[in-house]
Structure 1
Amino acid sequence: MTTRTHLDRLENQSVFIFREAYHAFKNIAMPWSMGKDSNVLIWLASKAFFGRVPFPVLHIDTTYEFPEMLEFREWATAHYKLNLIVKINEEARGRGVGYETHDPVTVTHELKTVALQQAMAQYKWDALITGIRRDEDPTRAKERYFSRR
């Protein structure tokens, strides 16, 4: 099996899963960290739906992003015509939660995890589309395509 054939098969499978998820759930969104894996998901979603991503894309903004990341976010949002939702945990930032005053575990929890929970409560999504790379960890290889959390 050639690498290209293998990649084509993975791409086709991913497109199928995107379409299946879109039809299985009424109100879905896709978190977008702007990292390599979530950027691939944006590209795959665009391919699956013929050039458009038909659900909102959520960026959890910790307020610690590099300016270049924010520029990329604006470019990609325009390029892919994304329905971008940016969520900042304003309450935590208002309390002064940050790397200057708190440990990294607390900052990550408050500015990422709690922000995601706030967005989930606000928008009442039925599902989130995330990417799990099966080759990263043996437990991930056993993960189902659709799993309740």
Structure 2
Amino acid sequence: MTGTGYASDLTDAEWVLLEPLLPGPCSTGRKRIHSRRVLVDAMLYVLQTGCVWRLLPMNFPSWGMVYAQYRKWRLRGVLKHVHDVLRERVRLAVGRAAQPTAGIIDRQSAKTTETGGPRGFDGAKKVSGRKRHILVDTLGLILKVVVHPADV
């Protein structure tokens, strides 16, 4: 097993499932210095710990390199594609159709600070911040997430 030894690191079995879903090497541009697995482990570390990109531990690639790869995959739809494929596989594994026919919507108002984007005041909840709308299937797997100012 390769990795940095953090609880957020992918196991070998998880990497076998994930690797084919990620884009392969480009034929143009600079050669890769770090493996995709190490980059994914660094992304998962940020996701699980909640640390900022600049505070990635030193045994990961530089935060700029990890963030640049994350941003590239996010903008190209790679992360959404990975999520959708894995969700379909989970549904098929439990005997459901790959695509759900029913969903459940919920929302939550959350307090936020003045920095970091738009916010509003939810009069019903008496909260100044943002409102999250989440659509899940009947298994509780996420289909869509939208964040608005709380006054929407």
Same fold (TM over 0.5): no
TM-score interval w.r.t. the shorter chain?
under 0.3
Question: Which entry has the higher C-alpha Rg, 1 or 2?
Answer: 2
TM-score normalised per structure 1: 0.25
TM-score normalised per structure 2: 0.24
User: Relative contact order, CA 8 A, sep 6+: which one is greater?
Assistant: 1
Higher helix share: 1
